[in-house]
Chains A and B, each alone.
Chain A
Amino acid sequence: MAKKKTLNNDDIDEKKRLELYNSQYLIRFAEQRAYDLFLENLVKGTSHLSLGQEAIAAGFATAMQVNDKSFCTYRGHAHTLARGASVVGVLGELMQRDCGLMRGKGGSMHLTDTSKGVMGSYAIIGAHLPMAVGSAWRAQYMGHDDVATVFFGDGTTNIGAFHEALNYAVVYKLPVIFVCENNNYMEYTPIESITAVKNPAADRASAYGLESIIIDGNDADEVYRTAQVAYSKARSGDGPSLIECKTYRQSGHSRADPGAYRPDGELDHWKKNNDPITRYRARLIEFGVKQKVIDGIEANVKRVVDEATEEAKNSPVPPEEILTTNVYANGGWAWRN
Chain B
Amino acid sequence: MKSQISSVFNECKKENRPALLTYTVAGDNSKKKSLEILKSISGYADILEIGFPHNAPTADGPQIQNSSYRALKKGIKLKDVFQIVKEYKKNKNAKPCILMGYYQMVYRYGEKKFIRKCKQAGVNGLIIVDLPWPENKAFARSCKKNSITFIQLLSPTTSKERMKKIIASSHDMIYYISMLSTTGGKLKVSPRKILENYNKIKKINKSKNLVIGFGITNKTIGALKKSDGLVVGSLLCKEIEKSLKKRQNPVIKLNKMVKELRKKIS
A and B together in one complex = no
